[in-house]
């Protein structure tokens, strides 16, 4: 085995492998989200997730009155506005009633739920 062969096998090939892995890890490829590490600060705003309702609008509810809002074809539900939204009602009144409803439901009143249970943990 000559000197050139020795260098090729024992120096160049390991160097090539190291460079390959370095490229794979250091290339700024896909923009990944910063992974959470314990102890680092949490800069994101508060988020509150809730489960989907059992008969949500997307799941298709089989009530008598269609609950499609914003469409003049369907009858408006009674709870939303003062009366039925006919096509002559005008969109401004309909819009304001919907906005009022959403503003009322966006901040629910606190309801005390009796003696609370639960647990607490730190890490």
Size of the site for another protein (CB under 8 A): 46
Q: Of 64, 91, 96, 92, whose CA–CA distance to 80 is shortest?
A: 96
CA distance 84 to 78: 7
CA distance 8 to 2: 10
CA distance 75 to 66: 7
Question: In angstroms, what is the minimal distance from the CB of 93 to another protein?
Answer: 15
Question: In angstroms, what is the minimal distance from the CB of 10 to another protein?
Answer: 38
Assess 116 for contact with another protein (CB under 8 A). Answer: yes
Residues forming the site for another protein (CB under 8 A): 33, 35-39, 41-42, 44-52, 54, 56-58, 67, 69-70, 80, 98, 101-102, 105, 107-123
């Amino acid at each position: 085995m000559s000197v050139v062969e020795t260098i090729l096998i024992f120096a160049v090939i390991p160097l090539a492998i190291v460079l390959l892995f370095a490229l794979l890890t250091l290339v700024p490829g896909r923009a990944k989200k910063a992974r959470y590490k314990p102890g680092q600060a949490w800069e994101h705003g508060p988020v509150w997730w809730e489960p989907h309702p059992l008969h949500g609008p997307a799941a298709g509810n089989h009530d008598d009155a269609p609950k499609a809002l914003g469409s003049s074809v369907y009858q408006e539900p009674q709870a939303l506005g003062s009366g039925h939204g006919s096509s002559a009602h005008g969109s401004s009144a309909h819009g304001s009633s919907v906005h009022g409803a959403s503003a009322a439901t966006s901040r629910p009143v606190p309801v005390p739920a009796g003696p609370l249970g639960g647990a607490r943990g730190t890490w």
